[in-house]
Structure 1
Amino acid sequence: MNSTLTEEQLKSVVQGPGDVEWRYEMRRECQEILPGLLLGPFVASKSLETLQSLKITHIVCIRDAKEAFSVRPRFIDNFSYLTLDVEDNEEQNLIRLFPQAKLFIDNAISNGGRVLVHCNGGISLSPAFVVMFVMQHYQLSWEDALHMVQNRRYCISPNGGFLTQLKEYEAIYRASIAVASYPSTNRIVSRRKRDDEDDEDGIDRYDDRKRALVESSDSPPAPSYDADHMDIS
């Protein structure tokens, strides 16, 4: 699911609402990043009343495995959950886990749902996933995507390792778009060309082998020696 906007619309999306006065206590709340996608801390997922008032239908629970006893789905009868066990450190590979989260979010929003993405504090881990999502959704640079999320949840601060992966993911998703937009007829022609070249190579190799066999059969026979009549004096 991608959204195509004009340059002016994208600029407005990145800047976000200019009339929001950020308050410290808002760190404990969740904010809507794009229609149907909200980001916040674990504490925002603990109130059934709050979740229902926000019309949440799906929740992505991202947690360090060591936090599993406390950061966990609370209302499995009320919401659809995706739980991802990760480590909040600079070595954690988020890019490998992101496709699963993206598919979950895409399916929820395309079916009219509303998704809350949270980790423990909503500062580093879950924001990195949301930045990757909006980056690809709006086809933004990693910096614009980061600014977009920060302009709605001011307190986010992905760690250095996650920022590096955001840069890497920009190259990955842009490459996937380039491949998808490459005319399928060209891909077919290129594949056929490779197949033809392989066939020609195979014929050439067969001819070479055949020629070698013919030439060897036309060659004079190798001299034979009779050990009993050899002069060994």
Structure 2
Amino acid sequence: MSRLESSPYIRNEEYLAEPLFKVHDVLPPAHLGSPLNDEFALELPSQDTAYGELVPDNFFERVNRAWFQHRPERQLWSYDMRRVAQQILPFLWLGPISSALDREFLQREGITLLLAVPFSNHSRPTGRRVADELGIETDSVTLADGQNYIYQYLRAVRRINDHLFLHSTPTHMPKILVFCETGSDRSAAVVVAYIMAMYGLDWLSARWAVSHRRLCVAIGEQIRQSLISFESIVAAKRDVAKAGVNSFGNNARKRGIDATGDDADVDMMDGNTITPFTPRPAPFIDRVL
């Protein structure tokens, strides 16, 4: 508009006429197979992949790797399915808070952990009352605006894996329900982050893997950017672990996650150093007629 001679305003500085980040259509990545002929599959990377702080020591000596091999059957999506949870992995479900309050569902599927993802520290939909009645564990990770999402993703990944490690037996597979109010945004982001961390997928592939099962997933721009940053963080942690650097020992491992959340000089979104705020000129000024 400011480029038109008839506009009452003129540019005061250069700007882009298009979004900095374009929203791409989420298309099925070829390396996950085609959902049209039931070839879609999620499989863990090779056994020599180092997970570092993402899993407890000797994780796969107790947790069956076969539980991570997922070949879901196709399902026809209907609008009402957004009100119930969907099974993303054999041990991992994603849904709205109503699923966490559904006693019949929790008992039928054998849910052993409710992981809530509230949108603020003052909103914690844990489903604790129902969980206490059924003997189910509860926990939460908060994705509040302005908070360090990366730290929360790492904490959620480790919390899920700790639960699997502590409660797995040769004949028993623990099951986790990750949920928020709608089961479509913040809790979906946590599940996307988990799949990125464990399967080494980029954020778009992981998001599509979740959308393949829960079509109503709708992740906002701020959280989308945090998942893009998380992709780089996880890749870096894997490279360090593979190199054999002793950064993820018992003490250093805890520091590895906590440091992501405690460093005051880390930006809440992408880990870049915060620079002091300096006022910027107004993008437009009145045209002198």
Under a length normalisation based on structure 2, what TM-score does the superposition of the two structures give? Answer: 0.56
Determine the C-alpha separation between the residues in 2 that align with 1:19 and 1:86.
Answer: 31
Kindly state the Cα deviation for residue 128 of structure 1 after the two structures are TM-superposed: 0.5
Given the alignment of the two structures, is residue 60 of structure 1 paired with residue 128 of structure 2, yes or no? no
Q: CA deviation at 1:108?
A: 2.2
Q: CA deviation at 1:85?
A: 3.6
Confirm or deny that 1:13 pairs with 2:70. no
After TM superposition, give the deviation of residue 57 of structure 1 in Å: 0.5
- Alignment partners' CA distance in 2, 1:109 and 1:52: 18
Partners of 2:79 and 2:147 in 1: how far apart? 28
Residue 79 of structure 1 is matched in structure 2 by 136
Matches within 5 A, 1:190-205: none
Higher helix share: 1
Residue identity in the other structure for 1:165: S
Paired residue type of 1:82: D
Go from structure 1 to structure 2 and tell me whether the alpha carbon gap of 1:161 and 1:98 turns closer, same or farther (over 3 Å shift). Answer: same
- Per-residue CA deviation, residues 87-128 of structure 1 (Å, 9 max, x unaligned), is 2x4x44321212221122112233231000001111111001
Whole-Å separation in 2 of the counterparts to 1:175 and 1:46 = 38
**Residues 18/47 of structure 1: CA separation in 2 closer, same or farther (3 Å cut):** closer
Partner residue in 2 for 1:94: 149
**What displacement does 1:63 show?**
1.1
Partner of 1:49: 104
SS in 1 for 2:219: coil
Identity %: 28
Deviates more, 1:109-118 or 1:122-131: 109-118
Note if contact 2:111-2:175 (Cα within 8 Å) is conserved in structure 1: yes
For residue 132 of structure 1, what is the aligned residue in structure 2?
A: 193
Structure 1 segment 79-228 matched on structure 2, within 5 A: 79-87=136-144, 89=145, 91-110=146-165, 111=168, 112-183=173-244
Distance in 2 separating the partners of 1:8 and 1:109 = 30
The structure-2 alpha-carbon separation of the partners of 1:95 and 1:184, relative to structure 1 and needing over 3 Å to count, comes to: closer
Matched with 2:45 is none
Amino acid at match of 2:141: L
Counterpart residue number, 1:26: 81
The answer as to whether partners of 1:94 and 1:129 remain within 8 angstroms in 2 is: no
Task: Look up the equivalent residue of 2:155 and give its one-letter code.
Answer: Q
Which amino acid is 2:137 matched to? S
Which blocks of at least 5 consecutive residues in structure 2 are unaligned? 1-28, 34-39, 43-69, 247-289
Q: Work out which of the residue numbers 90, 93, 103 in structure 2 matches 1:38.
A: 93
- The total of aligned residue pairs comes to 176
| Alignment CA distance shift 1:9-1:36 (3 Å) | farther
Distance 1:45 1:178, change over 3 A: same
Computed over aligned residues only, the root mean square deviation of the Cα atoms, in angstroms, reads: 2.5
Which stretches of structure 1, 4 residues or more, deviate above 6 A after TM superposition?
none
Q: Distance in 2 between matches of 1:148 and 1:127?
A: 11
Tell me the amino acid that sits aligned with residue 136 of structure 2.
Answer: F
Conserved? CA contact 1:61–1:82, under 8 Å: yes
